[in-house]
Amino acid sequence: MQNIKIRKIQNTDKKYFAKWWRDKDLARLTSGVLKTINDKELETYFLNILESKKDYHFIITLNNRAIGHISLSKKRIWYETQIIIGDKKYWGKGYGPKAIKLLINYTHKLKISKIFLEVRPDNTRAIRSYKKCGFKRKRIIKYPKNKHLSETLRMEL
């Protein structure tokens, strides 16, 4: 049986982030920045995740094996969620929507109801997953100064 769970990030999870953040396919689908992150940048970014007091970061596990990362970050009155299935052999198998639903259940306990995300408009697989979880298309957001990600689709729960 396939057992998907989310658990709080731990210091020992840095090895997964090192692999996922250096993967060009993942970078193309997310930020679009293809420059490889160095060890110092990785350490700083990962420490910020561990020490954050207002954000929630989780590792997605399948039968206790780390396959991805999902987060919830406070943005004024809204919370933004982001998800990455970092282990590509688990892409397209429905684990992303299951992890998002676990996160949504967690937000109910915290009384968080305003959740949004931004996704590349051409990332149809992700958009389909978000729709399965109840997210609705709201608008295109332009980032004219961002050469790697000039626009995103905002979706809200």
Q: Give the amino acid at 55.
A: D
Architecture of the domain delimited by 4-156 = 3-Layer(aba) Sandwich (3.40)
Please, are residues 135 and 155 in contact by the beta-carbon 8 Å criterion? yes
Give the single-character DSSP code of 89.
Answer: G
Query: pLDDT tens, position by position, for the chain (157 residues)?
Result: 579 999 999 999 989 888 877 777 766 666 555 566 788 887 888 899 998 888 999 999 999 999 999 999 999 899 999 998 888 899 889 999 999 999 999 999 999 989 999 998 988 888 999 999 999 999 999 888 877 777 889 999 9
Supply the pTM of this predicted model: 0.85
Measured between alpha carbons, how far is 109 from 107 in angstroms, rounded to an integer? 5
Q: CA-CA distance, 3 to 62, in Å (whole number)?
A: 5
Tell me the C-alpha distance between 26 and 111, whole Å. 31
